[in-house]
């Protein structure tokens, strides 16, 4: 096993026992039922103490010093690296190995959305410069013709890079065009789902790795109680009304019981169901605007119209965004009306990817997969 988690004093302390010798605890006199009595305050390690510590360590990865990493792409790389390190720490954490690739794919989507927003902006600004130049000097003014020709060339280059040069709309006074706003919404929702899932699942793995199955099961129902504490606030990107923090879902227990019993493929399936049904479904896939955009993206990609707008819904098991051969890229569907927001369709895709990952870990692809995960682990901060 590799070093994955920061060491903490509580790692070696017994649950529900004093964290310091009673003889070292402070003693004071208090008035109780009309009589003075000596009272000793004894600090005790509780389930909530452990959850706060493990939740804080997860937050430090995505929100150093309590502030979320502002750039969702950089935050995503930190998440990818943390998942990769989980698998390197304990190969039984196979869901985390798959999650490193899946989260990396989210990062690819973030890059695609950000790049599309930027290219639309570049085309809009180049068009504005060209129009302003013609408005100020006229179209055929001899002294201005070279400058105007250069503006036209820059506009044509920007237009060629713009994925939607002819099907966009920008309302007067709006900073972003209609398509830019759509890309921005997808960008924000993907980033929120990615961060929320990490803050839910990473502390579960750390609790199990440090304290074991028995204490994890014993303490699961208390996790939600650390939310809303004035002194120790919990970072939770999605509102409580959308997804309550720290819920004790059955899939969590089943997943770590399977890990403990050595049923690794089964543990991946349980965690995948927890990930998709309990976390991502209410967090992002019930957002009507996002669902509409995802359906349009898939239809556009499958039909090829409009060209260059859509990104394939797929999972590639390398550290890069590009498709890979040798069965390392798993596609969602070639059916034009397939719906990623449908939990059953999405689970079929996820479980296909999980089965392929499990198979590759047990054939000649294992070393290359391990190398790709190592590369993802090393990308944090790049």
pLDDT at 39 over 60: no
φ/ψ region of 379 (left if φ > 0, alpha if ψ in -120 to 50, else beta) reads: alpha
Kindly tell me the burial class for residue 1, based on how many C-beta atoms sit within 10 Å of its own C-beta (0-12, 13-18, 19 or more).
exposed
Q: What is the pLDDT of residue 33?
A: 65
Q: What is the pLDDT of residue 311?
A: 75
The dihedrals phi and psi of 39, each to the nearest 5 degrees, come to -120, 130
Question: Is the separation of the CB atoms in 358 and 94 below 8 Å?
Answer: yes
Written as six digits, the tokens of 164 are 């939607």
- Summarize pLDDT for 325-377 with one digit per residue, the tens: 888 999 988 888 778 889 999 999 999 999 999 999 999 999 999 999 999 99
Percent of the chain with pLDDT over 70: 84
Read off the pLDDT band of 1 (50, 70, 90): very low
Written as six digits, the tokens of 174 are 């709006």
Instruction: Please give the Cα distance from 226 to 68 (Å, whole number).
Output: 19
pLDDT at 215 over 70: yes
- Token pair 């961060």 is found at 195
Query: Average pLDDT of the chain?
Result: 85
Read off the pLDDT band of 102 (50, 70, 90): very high
- Summarize pLDDT for 251-300 with one digit per residue, the tens: 999 999 999 999 999 999 999 999 999 999 999 999 888 888 887 776 56
Residues 6+ apart with CB under 8 A from 132: none
> Would you give the DSSP letter of residue 23?
G
Written as six digits, the tokens of 130 are 């060209």
**H or E stretch at 268:** helix 264-273
Kindly tell me the burial class for residue 191, based on how many C-beta atoms sit within 10 Å of its own C-beta (0-12, 13-18, 19 or more).
buried
Instruction: Please give the Cα distance from 264 to 253 (Å, whole number).
Output: 14
Enumerate the H helices of 138-247 as residue ranges.
145-161, 178-211, 213-219
Tell me what the mean pLDDT of segment 98-107 comes to.
Answer: 95
Instruction: Please give the Cα distance from 382 to 379 (Å, whole number).
Output: 5
Instruction: Please give the Cα distance from 95 to 255 (Å, whole number).
Output: 10
- Summarize pLDDT for 302-312 with one digit per residue, the tens: 555 555 566 77
- Summarize pLDDT for 63-98 with one digit per residue, the tens: 998 999 999 999 999 999 999 999 999 999 999 999
From the list 170, 107, 126, the residue with the least C-alpha distance to 316 is 107
Least confident of 53-57, 106-110, 192-196, 251-255: 106-110
């Amino acid at each position: 096993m590799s070093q994955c988690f920061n060491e903490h004093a509580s790692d070696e302390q017994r649950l529900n026992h004093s964290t310091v010798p009673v003889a070292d605890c402070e003693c004071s006199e208090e008035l109780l039922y009309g009589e003075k009595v000596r009272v000793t305050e004894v600090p005790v390690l509780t389930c909530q103490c452990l959850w706060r510590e493990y939740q804080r360590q997860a937050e430090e990865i995505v929100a150093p010093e309590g502030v979320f990493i502002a750039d969702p792409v950089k935050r995503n790389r930190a998440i990818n690296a943390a998942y990769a390190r989980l698998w390197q720490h304990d190969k039984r954490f196979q869901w985390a190995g798959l999650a490193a690739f899946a989260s990396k794919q989210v990062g690819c989507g973030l890059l695609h959305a950000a790049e599309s927003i930027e290219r639309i902006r570049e085309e809009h600004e180049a068009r504005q410069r060209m129009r302003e130049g013609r408005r100020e000097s006229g179209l055929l003014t001899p002294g201005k013709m070279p400058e105007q020709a250069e503006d036209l060339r820059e506009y044509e280059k920007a237009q060629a890079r713009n994925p939607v040069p002819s099907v966009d709309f920008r309302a007067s006074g709006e900073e972003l065009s209609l398509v830019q706003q759509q890309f921005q919404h997808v960008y924000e929702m993907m980033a929120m789902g990615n961060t929320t899932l990490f803050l839910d699942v990473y502390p579960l793995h750390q609790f199990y790795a440090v304290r074991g199955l028995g204490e994890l099961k014993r303490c699961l129902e208390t996790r939600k109680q650390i939310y809303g504490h004035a002194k120790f606030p919990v970072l939770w990107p999605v509102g409580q009304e959308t997804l309550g923090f720290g819920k004790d879902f059955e899939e969590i227990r089943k997943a770590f019981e399977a890990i403990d019993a050595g049923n690794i493929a089964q543990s991946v399936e349980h965690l995948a169901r927890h990930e998709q049904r309990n976390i991502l479904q209410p967090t992002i896939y019930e957002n009507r605007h996002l669902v509409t955009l995802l359906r349009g993206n898939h239809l556009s990609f499958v039909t090829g119209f409009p060209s260059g707008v859509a990104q394939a819904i797929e999972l590639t098991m390398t550290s890069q965004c590009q498709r890979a051969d040798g069965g390392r890229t798993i596609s969602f569907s070639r059916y034009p009306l397939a719906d990623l927001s449908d939990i059953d369709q999405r689970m079929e895709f996820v479980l296909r990817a999980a089965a392929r990952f499990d198979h590759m870990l047990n054939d000649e692809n294992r070393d290359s997969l391990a190398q790709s995960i190592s590369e993802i682990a090393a990308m944090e901060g790049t």
